[in-house]
Every structure is written in structure tokens, then in C-alpha cells.
A and B are shown apart, each in its own frame.
Chain A
């Protein structure tokens, strides 16, 4: 659709071989995302039905290439809309060339910060008088803080903090934990004036132990990664998180916790194949183990049944449950699941006789849910301090949500 050759070593003909061997082969995501065809390496990712491909003959840094491709897609989303498609691409050809030229030079990625790019690459939407002075612009593009421009003003100074956790769980059929971790992200939406200096604190065990503790529960964080605005040297030295934030939404940090996780749901399954594989009897108990002040929403429990299920007689105390043949599962949906509540579902499943009986692979039970104001890891925000020259007051809003990642129980 569109291509930009930053170097001389790969030609358009090479793109054809990719088209023939990957695009035309209807490759559906089972092949590795790096492919070598005739001494040329292709690194690719996808957005909708479009391939974003980088080609090279050199020994490049593949992580760098992918990160750039992801950034490019992100930039295009910002300019053309989240769900931009082929048509949007074709209608904005020159804009895309401009963006590609500005974000990469001779194969070396340059500034990719959308906010800054918007200052000088726009479809003529910004009136000339709003455009900053060129020299101010260039110092912005090349500056140490390229993610935020100077002179931002907000009437109300506010910060929204969302702590989103997703719990991964894999339980064996005997009830032992095979894998259990929480992946958390702290997302922020900042509306702050000037160039504020922020300091952010979680109930991180390492920090609080050092401060002799304040009696509250602490969390042992295995590892975390930070948005590039965070001063990593400072974090490495004393684990304080300091930064000048970008304006608007961004992801401050990701973290991973594997110890002392509060599982929001416990599941006790009993699934038996009976009468020489003509019947399966199911009895599953689900217990919400979080506080009774809270409740979970969008709870979906998928209990797999064999492919040759003919009918299922289901009994459950609340929510709706039915056999969904296309999923090969009994799907039980509960809109609102109160804390400390307990529920049992039983089902008698009749199977159709098969000419060549095949053993059933017994896939795991899967759970989906959201629990607002709850963190499975126990992480909570201790403080966010904002310092600015003008000394304004900042309003802070904190939300917590725990979702199911891969929450599976083998049967």
C-alpha cells in the first residue's frame, strides 16, 4: 500500500516476495514474526488486515524494529483513529509519508512522541498563528523532555490514577497452583499546569521496610517497568518514582507480583465421565473470596463439555447458564456476584454415541470477571505528590479494578 525506502539495500521487488510468501499464503499468526526470504529479513506485525513490515539486509536490533513498528501504529491510531483501516491509509498517504520521515531517518528511529509530532505535523488543521516558533519547536523535539511541551495550562489541576490488575491463575485438577501471578498497570490521566515534578508511591515492601514500616500491609513487587518519563537512575538508587508527566493519558508503570495473591474466586470442580463415556456429570462450586462490601461484575464461567454433547440438564442458584455448542461449553453468566457469596452449578450432560470413541481432552474451566475497588496483589497507592513552581493544589482520583487474565482451572 505504501512504502518508504530509508536505505538502498532492499528494493520494491523484495516487498513482492513478502506479499507472495506471507500475505498471499494467508498466514494467520502461527508463523514467527521474523522471516528470512532470499537474504532479506522481514519483521512484521499486524493491525486489522494490514501488515506493517520492516525489511533489512543488515543485522539489526529486532526489538528496536518491533518497538518502532508498534509506535508507528500507535501514532497512526492517534492521527487516523483507533480503528484506522486501508481507506484511511490511502486517503492520508502524504501525511503518512511525512510521519514516517519524521520518526525515522536512515533506519534510525527518531522522536515518536505523538504530542510533539502534532505540533508540527498536522493536516493544516492548526492555524499558523498557533504554531510555535521554529526554534522553540526544535528544542522541544530534541529536548530531554520530549514528551511534554512547555506552557500547558489547565483551569483545574487534576490527576486520575487507575490501578488495573489482571490475575493469571492455572490450577491443576488436584487443586495445586501451577501458575499464579498478577500483572498490574498504573495508568494516569494528568491535567496539570506547567512542568510539574511528581513523586509517586505504592505500598512497595522494599520501600516501606526501609522506612521502618507504618504497620500496614506491604506488597513484594517482583519486577516493574516504567514509562520513559520516570527517572530510572533514581528508582535504582532508592526506589522512589519521580517524573515529569506527559499531558493526558499515559501508562506510568507495569508491575508483576507473584507472592501472597488474594484470589478473588475459588473454584471446586467435580467432573466425571460416566457409563462408558455416554454421560458426564458436572458439579462446580464457585466462591467469591473478596470482602462482602464489594461485588464482581461481568462474571462468566465456562465449563467445557465434550464435542458430542447432545443435551445438558443444568441447575444453578443464580445467574444464567446454558449449553453453547459453538463453544463446546456450558457458559454461566452472572452480572453481579457479591463478595463472600457461594454458588453451585450442577449439570447432567448426555453424550451422543460415536462410532470411533475418542478420549476427551478435558480443557480447563475458564473464568472472566471484574472486581472494582479490589487489587488481587494488595497494591495500593500511598501518595502522589505534585510540585510546581506556582504551588497549585491538585485533585487526585484513584480507582482500582482487578480483572481475570488467564484464569483457568483444570478438571
Chain B
């Protein structure tokens, strides 16, 4: 280290440069070289640009840990920012923006202001990006200094690179602030379109992406822009192509149906570039395929004649093959089914097991989708079963069950072939499917009872899914042929109700038992009744979500097929200000009483009384508001939403911020899509009182009621989707927009969830350990792990304290038990472990409503985190 220091102070430039390089090499491999800070900084006094770059690199890296020392470099930055060499001016501005030390920002403003008007385009383009950097640290400063206006001026810059970076910076600020700072006017639009022809490939992407967020005034304007954008479809850079596709698809919506010729022409133009993307690198193919998946759902006619290009090549990577298969199924029609079947049959002989299974299952899905081709599909499946390849047979059995459900009583002739392959089945899902088929068609299978009998031998070892099917199939068999199966059904019912500790199985067993013993005819109606015919809607997206995602083409959102809000955790620019504090005070006054009530009710705090009384926080339920729609999607309104329970009622809280709706807004209508909770609005009208004038924001609440008809059942074993899809109609202009918001589950905990200690213990023990859910919540706010506080906070959310006890043999550790019950009557039991001095907690949750367990667990986690 000493040697390095000497070299850094050497007068020989080459030695100096080498020394700094060594320092940076150590920094890269993770060695701490921060003690050389002043020595390295000294080297910055040089006219040599190579050395300067190295020193700046070092500065950026250590600015966070050494903010005080970084200030020493300010003078150099300021000086370099007015150097005669434009490369050095730009370097200074670029580096200053990367240093995220608050106090640097004040020094940055003047040089930045000059750089934005620099005569050299290289400096201006660097300064443009720097504004976005500064906005991330100090948004107020950017607005105060009028930098946003200057960015606007840069859109008319003579240099295309400057325009491109200006657009990028403005779009970023618009996104993070939620304000429409981009303000695309007619003249801005023309400038953007002109720059599109001139700037680099990246610049074209920035411009196209910002155009995609713009809503043209009418169909004609949309058409005009599309015309200027279509040449981009021929660009060699796939990002340019994808962004152009996004603009065209979004604008096509606006062109409306009166212009069907133009739309047909566009549809024809879009297909070739999309197909060409499939000849790029596999990574790009993957991106393209995920997006095409959305496009074929929205506008199936674009690629309806191109199914061949999605046929898999022998040497495609697996992830590409899987995506292609998904698209083949979406494009399959009666015209091309024969060709598709030949392909799928070919895939079923390949080596990769996952791919083969997906191909086999695809054949079944084709059968379900195309009634006229079902017979041919089944023939292929039977052929594949003859290969006796274990996983092929199992997958085939699973899909054939779906085919039977889609076309009842039509293809029973193949049951015999299936029955020949019983031995191969060793996977639960395949077994369960086969057993379902046997039960359903028991009267056509001569030895149905014998077949079931063989499965019953291993009943206790089977997976719950298989057990449930066995139970049902045996009962069906009994109802159809009571004489021979009396013994068998008795045995199954015994095993299900007495020997099993699976609650689902027990419940179903008891129900059958009661039905059979009280009213066999009713049992027939229930058990043998007609089942709803299924459709092939696997992997099909809800229209509301699809519309959201089409607007997100060429973003990660289109890869995950999830709206951006569900995975982007965006800090809202700027830090919380006094406003937030004020809010807290208000809440304290209002809910004082309520909190005191709950703490008086049975919570035993006597031991700790003296210590914790003083600074107890007061808790009151609040809705965690998330941004669910931006002004570009919601007609100039930015929407935040969340759920809260108050006075036993559940409310959806809405905050509308009128960014650019152009008038006062007050009246809306709301509708919810079916969801996993059966929530629906009590009243469709949503009123903001007073009306929200442009530039301001307002909040309102919509009361929610439980409506079983609105509930989408969640299949057993799957996790509930917390998403609630909402449509809002703006009554002022009849515009409709959609968004999706995740339900924060704690708002559904009802006030009668309290339990006796003994009842709790019994319930806790009765739930199989396999259904336990764990989480560790770390990095909690420093003062939030006081058990008393947690207890009080939880009480406000109807999460009831049961007991607490120290963990034996673990000093400082304590466990606390809570119970809660949802308004639907599902109960949840939680065990939280805290350790003194550690700002983390372990959460363990048990419930019989396993599908909802994950939600309850994350509700607890987020409540622990909240303050």
C-alpha cells in the first residue's frame, strides 16, 4: 500500500497512470482501497484525459462511503466543466451526475446549466442524461432550476444524438414523477419524427418508446405517425423493430373500425418483420416470442398464415422451443391442424423430457380447441401411447382426461387402450386422471371395480390428489353398480374419514358418507351430475390484462406477462416530507379510542407495563397505496389504489391525481372483474367530492361487498392470485381505462377472529406440518420489533394476540402467537419469533385454506414492515 502511495505521488506520468490502474484493479476485485482517497484525488490535477478518467472512476466508486472527501473534488469538477476540451467538459458533467452525494448537487447545477447550452453537441447530449440523474436525487432542484424546460428545448436541437438523449431524459422523468413532462405537442411530434430518421439506433428506440406513450388526437393523426414509423420495421437492430411494432399496435386501436382497409394493410406489413426476428440470436428470439404470444392473442390475423415459422428446429434452445409450442397452439386452426399434428408427433420423439411432455399435452389441447379435429388428435395420442415411453404415456393420460371432459361420452372406445397402460403410471397427476376416467365411465369398463381395487391397495401411500380421486371414483362406481362394490366403498370411506389426517379428504369422505346414508338418489344427482364442459383457455390472458400488456410490448412486462406495477418497486422521486408526518398526527386523534379498546381486550401486557407504556405508537389501519395506472393509460389521470377495512366494512381506496385530464373530474363508474375473493363494489358510482381540478389530486373510497358469484375458485394446491382487475369509466368523457391492483389481504380479516388459547393450540396441532409456510422478515425499521408494538399494530388489523413465551434455551428469543379469520371464514394461525436486538422476525403460518396461506403470510410480512 505504501509503495502504491509513493507511485501515486510520482512525477512520472506513466508511473502515476500505472499506479491508478493498480488501485482500480484492486477495487474491482473487491479490495478496500479507500484509504488512498486523497492520494488518488491528487492525481486529478492533470491535463491527461486518460488519467482523469481513471481518477473519476475511482471517485464514483467511493463517493458513497466517503461523501466528505468527495467534496474535496468539487473544485476539480467545476474547473473541468469549463475546460477547453469538450471531451473533458462532458466527462466532468457525466461523472458529477454519477456521484450521489446530496451536497454535490448544489455545485452541479451551475455547470450543468452551462453544459446544457454548450456549443458542443457531445457535451449537450451528456448534460441531457445528467438532468435525469439529478432528478433521481433532487427532483425539486431540477424543477426549480428550469432544467425540464431546457430539456424541452433540446428536442429541437440540431444534433440528433442530443435530441435522442433529451427524449430519454424527459421520458424517464415523466415515468418516475408520474407527471406529463414530455408534453408532446404537434410541433414536438414533428421534431421527433424528423429525428427518427437521423439519430442512432438507440436514439430511435428512445423516440419510438416515447411515441408509444403518446395518445394521438384522432385516427388520422395515428395513421400519419404510423406511416412515418413503418420504415423502422426494416432496421437491423431488433430493439428498433420491436419498439416500432409497439407504436403501430397501440395506435391501430385508435384507428377504429371505419378504417378497415388501412388496418388490413398494416396487418400485412407487420408479419414479415416479426417473422424475421425469429432468425436472430436465441435471446432476441425469446424476447420476440414472448411478445408474439401477446400479439397473436390480441390480433390473431397478423400471423394466422405463418404457423410454419413457429415449427421448432432440431437445434433450437429448449426455451425457444417451449415458447414456439405455446404460439403453435394459439395459431392452430382447422386449416393447418394436420400439419401441426405431424409436427407435434415428431416433437414427441425428441430427447428433452419437458419439451416432449409439452408437445404431448399440446396435442390434447388441440383436441379440446378444435372439435372437428379431435378425433385425429386422439388417434395421434393413442399412437404415442403405443411407444410405451413412460412420461409420454403419463402426459397423454392427463390430457385425455381433459378431452373426455370436453366431449363427454364420445371417445370411450379408447378406454381399453388406456387401461392396458395402468402399470406405467407412477405420477400422481397421471394416476388421478386415469382414476377419474375409470370412475366416470365405470359402467363401460367391465372390471372397473377390480382396477380401482388395485389402486386401493396402496391408498395410504398415495398423494392427496390421487386419494381424492380414488374416493370419488369408488363412490361413482358404487352408485352405478351397488351390488359388487358395497365392501369397497365402505373401506374407502373408512380410510378417508378415520385414518387420514388430510382435512380435504376427510371432509369429502364425510359428505359422501352422509349423502349415501341419507339419500342415495340425491347422491346420484350430486356425484353423477353433468359437469360443465371445459374450454381450452389455458394460458389465455384476461382481456383487461392483455390490453395492459399490449401497451407494454418491448418491455420486461411483456416477457413476464405481468403488469409493470406487479414487479417494479419504484421509489417515488423525492423523499417523504412534512406532509406525511401531518397525516400521522391526524390519524392519532381519530382512532385513539379504537386502539385503546383493543388493547384493553384480553391482551396481557402486565409484565411489561412499566417499560413500554410511554412511547407506544398508536396504530390505525391504512390502505397501502400503489400506483396502478399512469396518466398515459388512464386519460390523463394517475391512479393509486389499495384496500382497507374500517368499521367492519371493506373499502377500496382510490387516489386520482388529475395530471392532464383537461377538466375537473368527479364522477366515475367502477366495475371489478371476477376475482379470488368475490369482492365487488356495493355501488358502481364513484364520486370525488370536491371535484379534482387539473394539477391536484383527491381521494375517495368505494365500499366493497362479498358476492359469491364474483368469486373465481382457485384450484386446489394452487396459490390464490391476489390480483383484482378493475375497469373505470370516466363519466365526463365516457373514456374507459383498466388497471390491476393486488389485494392486501389483511383488509379481509374480520373482527371475530379471536380464539381461546386452548382452541388455538388444538387447531395449530391439527394442521399438518407440511402445510406450514415460513418467511424471514429482515431489515425491519429499527424500532418496529417491540412485541408490544407489533401486538397493537396487529390488533388494529384484526390479527389477534393469543400468547407469547420465551424460547427455552435461546436467550433473548421469544415467540408470539396470533390468530386471524377472513371474512370468508378461513382461519389462519401464525407464530412469530423475535430475537432481542435483532431487527428481524421469523414468521410461520398454518392454515387449512392452503391456497390463501401465502397471501396471509405476506400480509403479516408487509404489516411488520409498515410503520
A residues with a Cβ closer than 8 A to B are 1-3, 6-8, 29-34, 36, 39, 41, 43, 45, 56-64, 66-68, 70, 93-94, 97-98, 101, 105-106, 108-112, 120, 124, 134-135, 137-139, 141-144, 146, 168, 170, 172, 178-179, 183, 222-228, 231-233, 235-236, 251, 253-254, 256, 358-359, 361-364, 406, 408, 410
Cβ < 8 Å to A, chain B residues 307-361: 308-309, 311, 313-315, 317-319, 339, 342-343, 346, 349-350, 352
Residues of A within 8 A of B559 (CB): 34, 62
Q: Using A98-B53, A108-B168, A228-B200 as known contacts, say yes or no to A251 and B569 having CB atoms under 8 A apart.
A: no
A selection of 16 A-B contacts at a CB cut-off of 8 Å is: A33-B282, A58-B556, A59-B552, A59-B568, A93-B24, A97-B24, A106-B132, A110-B161, A110-B202, A111-B200, A141-B161, A144-B198, A183-B279, A224-B234, A232-B234, A406-B313
Contact between B161 and A142, CB atoms less than 8 A apart: yes
Contact between A30 and B24, CB atoms less than 8 A apart: no
Contact between B162 and A142, CB atoms less than 8 A apart: yes
Distance A2 CA – B26 CA, assembled complex (angstroms): 11
Contact between A222 and B239, CB atoms less than 8 A apart: no
State which of B118-126, B647-655, B850-858 sits at the interface with chain A.
Answer: B118-126
Residues of A within 8 A of B126 (CB): 105
Contact between B315 and A223, CB atoms less than 8 A apart: no
Residue B231 at the chain A interface, CB threshold 8 Å = yes
B residues with a Cβ closer than 8 A to A are 21, 24-25, 28, 50, 53-54, 57, 85-87, 90, 94, 97-98, 100, 120-123, 125-126, 129, 132-133, 136, 159-162, 165, 168, 197-202, 205-206, 209, 230-232, 234-239, 241-243, 272-273, 275-276, 279, 281-284, 286-288, 308-309, 311, 313-315, 317-319, 339, 342-343, 346, 349-350, 352, 387, 389, 552, 554-557, 559-560, 564, 567-570
Residues of A within 8 A of B275 (CB): 222-223, 256
Residues of A within 8 A of B21 (CB): 93-94
Q: Which of A70, A144, A410 contacts B281 (CB 8 A)?
A: A70
Q: Using A33-B282, A45-B283 as known contacts, say yes or no to A64 and B87 having CB atoms under 8 A apart.
A: no
Distance A148 CA – B488 CA, assembled complex (angstroms): 85
Distance A361 CA – B348 CA, assembled complex (angstroms): 9
Q: Using A59-B564, A67-B238, A228-B200 as known contacts, say yes or no to A138 and B319 having CB atoms under 8 A apart.
A: no
Contact between B86 and A94, CB atoms less than 8 A apart: no
Residues of B within 8 A of A93 (CB): 21, 24-25, 28
Distance A158 CA – B148 CA, assembled complex (angstroms): 49
Distance A134 CA – B239 CA, assembled complex (angstroms): 31
Residues of B within 8 A of A183 (CB): 279
Residues of B within 8 A of A68 (CB): 202
Residues of B within 8 A of A222 (CB): 272, 275
**Chain A residue, CB-CB nearest to B350:** A361
Residues of A within 8 A of B552 (CB): 59
**Chain B residue, CB-CB nearest to A221:** B272
Contact between A94 and B24, CB atoms less than 8 A apart: yes
Q: Which of B24, B90, B100, B236 contacts A8 (CB 8 A)?
A: B100
Contact between A34 and B276, CB atoms less than 8 A apart: no
Contact between B284 and A254, CB atoms less than 8 A apart: no
Contact between A63 and B556, CB atoms less than 8 A apart: no
**Chain A residue, CB-CB nearest to B205:** A64
Q: Which of A135, A144, A224 contacts B160 (CB 8 A)?
A: A144
Q: Which of B57, B242, B317, B564 contacts A97 (CB 8 A)?
A: B57
Q: Using A62-B556, A93-B25, A138-B120 as known contacts, say yes or no to A225 and B235 having CB atoms under 8 A apart.
A: yes
**Chain A residue, CB-CB nearest to B564:** A59
Residues of B within 8 A of A6 (CB): 98
Contact between B159 and A142, CB atoms less than 8 A apart: yes
Residues of A within 8 A of B200 (CB): 110-111, 146, 228
**Chain A residue, CB-CB nearest to B351:** A361
Distance A70 CA – B308 CA, assembled complex (angstroms): 28
Contact between A62 and B308, CB atoms less than 8 A apart: no
Contact between B317 and A135, CB atoms less than 8 A apart: no
Contact between B319 and A33, CB atoms less than 8 A apart: yes
**Chain A residue, CB-CB nearest to B86:** A138
Contact between A32 and B313, CB atoms less than 8 A apart: no
Contact between A254 and B279, CB atoms less than 8 A apart: yes
Contact between A228 and B349, CB atoms less than 8 A apart: no
Q: Using A64-B205, A142-B159 as known contacts, say yes or no to A227 and B122 having CB atoms under 8 A apart.
A: no
What's the least CB distance linking A238 to chain B, in Å?
Answer: 12
Contact between B129 and A106, CB atoms less than 8 A apart: yes
What's the least CB distance linking B346 to chain A, in Å?
Answer: 7
| Majority-rule SS of B interface residues | helix
Contact between A142 and B125, CB atoms less than 8 A apart: yes
Contact between A62 and B555, CB atoms less than 8 A apart: yes
Residues of B within 8 A of A67 (CB): 201, 237-239, 284
Contact between A178 and B165, CB atoms less than 8 A apart: no
Contact between B281 and A111, CB atoms less than 8 A apart: no
Residues of B within 8 A of A34 (CB): 286-287, 556, 559
Contact between A179 and B132, CB atoms less than 8 A apart: no
Residues of B within 8 A of A228 (CB): 200-201, 235-237
Residues of A within 8 A of B206 (CB): 108
Distance A101 CA – B205 CA, assembled complex (angstroms): 20
Contact between B120 and A406, CB atoms less than 8 A apart: no
Residues of B within 8 A of A8 (CB): 100, 136
Distance A135 CA – B121 CA, assembled complex (angstroms): 9
Q: Using A31-B319, A66-B284, A98-B53 as known contacts, say yes or no to A359 and B342 having CB atoms under 8 A apart.
A: no
Residues of A within 8 A of B349 (CB): 361-362
Q: Which of A178, A226, A251 contacts B234 (CB 8 A)?
A: A226
Residues of B within 8 A of A236 (CB): 230-231, 234
Q: Using A108-B129, A223-B273 as known contacts, say yes or no to A32 and B286 having CB atoms under 8 A apart.
A: yes
What's the least CB distance linking A176 to chain B, in Å?
Answer: 9
Distance A118 CA – B125 CA, assembled complex (angstroms): 20
Residues of B within 8 A of A134 (CB): 85-87
What's the least CB distance linking B285 to chain A, in Å?
Answer: 10
**Chain B residue, CB-CB nearest to A63:** B239
Contact between B554 and A61, CB atoms less than 8 A apart: yes
Contact between A235 and B286, CB atoms less than 8 A apart: no
**Chain B residue, CB-CB nearest to A122:** B50
Q: Closest 10 CB pairs between A and B?
A: A223-B272, A138-B122, A236-B231, A142-B161, A63-B239, A232-B231, A361-B349, A64-B239, A59-B564, A32-B319
Interface centre among B200, B275, B311, B350 (most CB of A within 10 A): B200
Residues of B within 8 A of A64 (CB): 202, 205, 239, 243, 554
Residues of A within 8 A of B243 (CB): 61, 63-64
Residues of B within 8 A of A226 (CB): 234-236
**Chain A residue, CB-CB nearest to B195:** A144
Interface centre among B161, B201, B237, B556 (most CB of A within 10 A): B556
Q: Using A58-B568, A62-B556, A93-B28 as known contacts, say yes or no to A30 and B318 having CB atoms under 8 A apart.
A: yes
What's the least CB distance linking B103 to chain A, in Å?
Answer: 17
Contact between A178 and B308, CB atoms less than 8 A apart: yes
Contact between A108 and B236, CB atoms less than 8 A apart: no
Contact between A359 and B387, CB atoms less than 8 A apart: yes
**Chain B residue, CB-CB nearest to A253:** B236
Distance A254 CA – B387 CA, assembled complex (angstroms): 43
Contact between B308 and A179, CB atoms less than 8 A apart: yes
Residues of B within 8 A of A408 (CB): 314
**Chain A residue, CB-CB nearest to B136:** A8
Residues of B within 8 A of A36 (CB): 560, 567
Distance A408 CA – B343 CA, assembled complex (angstroms): 14
Residues of A within 8 A of B122 (CB): 137-139, 141-142
**Chain B residue, CB-CB nearest to A222:** B272
Contact between B311 and A179, CB atoms less than 8 A apart: yes
Residues of B within 8 A of A139 (CB): 121-122
Residues of A within 8 A of B199 (CB): 144
Distance A111 CA – B28 CA, assembled complex (angstroms): 25
Residues of B within 8 A of A101 (CB): 53, 57, 94
What's the least CB distance linking A359 to chain B, in Å?
Answer: 5
Contact between B236 and A225, CB atoms less than 8 A apart: yes
Q: Using A63-B287, A93-B25 as known contacts, say yes or no to A232 and B281 having CB atoms under 8 A apart.
A: no
Contact between B284 and A63, CB atoms less than 8 A apart: yes
What's the least CB distance linking A62 to chain B, in Å?
Answer: 5
